[in-house]
Amino acid sequence: MQGKVEICGVNTSRLKVLKSSETRELLIKSHEGDKEAREKLISGNLRLVLSVIQRFNNRGENPDDLFQVGCIGLMKAIDHFDVNQGVQFSTYGVPMIIGEVRRFLRDNNSVRVSRSMRDTAYKAIQCKEKLTAENGKEPTVEEISRELDMKREDVVVALEAIVEPVSLYEPVFSDGGDTIYIMDQVGDGNDGDWLEEIAIKQAIRNLGEREKKILSMRFLDGKTQMEVANEIGISQAQVSRLEKGALGKIKKEIR
């Protein structure tokens, strides 16, 4: 896809990039019902869509299809962006476009995820977009689970089942100035704590299934070692040994 001059009939070499002041002015007019301003916003941010979908060029999908799907995400971002939040439109628009493309890829994915889990994930994503539009910031997993009246663990498992891992330092957009990376889209104001959480999650993924189950039952469900032992059919001593071994592996990986 890189080097492709025309996509969906659009000459990518001639795509316009709006200035921040122009974007803000057009967003205000668009939210007031000015259709022409909305069209200018869309055409002025097509380069943003193109930059985002290039990261998916190894998925074997038709680039024209991805571009059209990305444009849907762009239009959603335009309609829901709050100009009073003090952030650049691209900071809000990039994850919206990525989310729309990933939704398209999930619907066309040959890897089977159970229907109930997929439905839960879609509800969580829709809820996330709704709360983001209402509050001007991304909700936490706890807020999403409360809104859906679901267990936090169910929401987390469903979302992780349909999301592919990406590098924190993967660039998602650059307009010739500062580049936006994946890390920039998910920071919470405390990068040290956030990075440590990511490292812990990655370390947990590298554990065996039995170790994951024991840690989940012990620290998410709050069960004793004896209760865990009775449920999975091994001795308390084995549970204790596996638990200590798993925690040791996690500590070793995040040092």
**Residues 6+ positions from 227 with CB-CB distance below 8 Å:** 217
Rounded CA-CA distance 64/216 in Å is: 43
Q: How many CA atoms lie within 13 A of 217 on its CB side?
A: 20
Tokens of 47: 């380069």
Q: Which of 34-38, 108-112, 146-150, 193-197 is the least confident region?
A: 193-197
Average pLDDT over residues 219-233: 82
Assign domain 187-255 to a CATH class. Answer: mainly alpha
> Each residue of 178-207: pLDDT tens digit?
455 554 544 444 444 444 555 566 667 778
Q: Buried b / exposed e across 96-105, counting CB within 10 Å, b at 16+?
A: bbbbbbbbbb
**Residue 3 scores a pLDDT above 50:** no
The whole-chain average pLDDT of the chain stands at 75
Class of 1-113+162-186 per CATH? mainly alpha
Domain boundary assignment for the chain: 1-113+162-186, 115-156, 187-255
